[in-house]
Structure 1
């Protein structure tokens, strides 16, 4: 089974990372290796890309895609919270650039059985690392309604979270919710009752989008380690090195923005960063038209100060 993977904002990533021949670059969220391929082209002939991803399907796809670069590619199936460990394993104590492309990849959306697509009949899985841990179905069918409402509100920023949780409670009382389309139908029923349209309605953004986002974040504990990993990435940067972070929802972007400001202002890390993006950078209109999944992307970049 193959999956398409279209990396977002590749030109902007290269502009801000400014990769040069011989550089050591760290890709903390490989996906299908699209960004990694572009970086590798820029850092040859002697550069090295160290990459990791918690999703084994992504690592396998990236390994195939980046195979032409041979020993310049060092890939690891692990979570980005392990970046200091894997950089040390590859024999380096610092890197020239770090990239985070956060959120859901095209691979996870396109491969059947992963449980991320709202309109699919796939099992409600949503684990980026399918080797263990609770699934979205486990949370949906086990959490008390109050806890479920809080989860949907906190991680999905969904104003109808309590109504959605009550509707899920009624539905699972009849039988467990096990498929993506079953959960989506429950959320659509809430939207319909509140005037958001019913069956056959076309939405700019599907009513279940925020609920699915919240469950994915909770299942994968995406917020738990992000700030700590970003700090590790800054620690790993050589003076003059650059970090680029692409996020896809406001929760992630808020963490990135506040941390960059903290480190640039000197609190905690002694003014170690210079922010390169005073405002968040968004994809071009042309990119959004050709790749609708890039619509929500937000890019921030910073450079480690020479005296840090």
Structure 2
């Protein structure tokens, strides 16, 4: 026969005392779930994110005090829809790390990986074949459906040479381990603001990163079926890093890109004709990077709120 013990008085008192804490945790969990649901609603074609997730100034500002460092990725992925990983630029990560990042984030979340600097920081780009292969075979496909575009960043001293650059584009596969790859070029020398470069990028279907930084060329010319944007001009004195009107403008630009259009207000090498401004829907990846980095999460969430409002 099974007997049921009556709870001890001390246990009952402890349970009663714990109720407010449980209620607070439940409220916080509900808010997090609502945030994650709202974020996911925007994630079909538009991803807005930040660079990395381990950043000390975010603790106590973006991350609540009770979020441990081991849970920062989990928390960040509930409030933004993508993260650009910079550590892959400096060194090889383990396949187990990519698998762990995959498991820590919700469905629909995306990681952009900055490719190895050893592949792009070369005088002769074709000589980077081994570095390209080493990066692509390092276990990045452990991210599965959460693997977003691969960002290939070139040094500000790298001058455009059509033959040299095409030899590099020929090294980039369309698939790795059965998973489709998307490639984005971040070029940082003014010589790339050339119709010949755009023609090459379109030939190989690689995106050209729109970089909002006065030190680097900014061109919104479309060269692929997706758009990649890096915003670097946050102001540390503003709550969200940007004036509300600028965030409103970026929300409109993102909607235009996602709908298949081209924002005419942004700088282009080639003036988009009316015929080219309308196309099928595109995926858009926008990251708040560098420049008052402490404001990046607030800026990303403020932009997501605007995108979810319509």
| Bucket of the pairwise TM-score, normalised by the shorter protein | under 0.3
TM-score, normalised to structure 2, is: 0.27
Q: Which has the larger radius of gyration?
A: 2
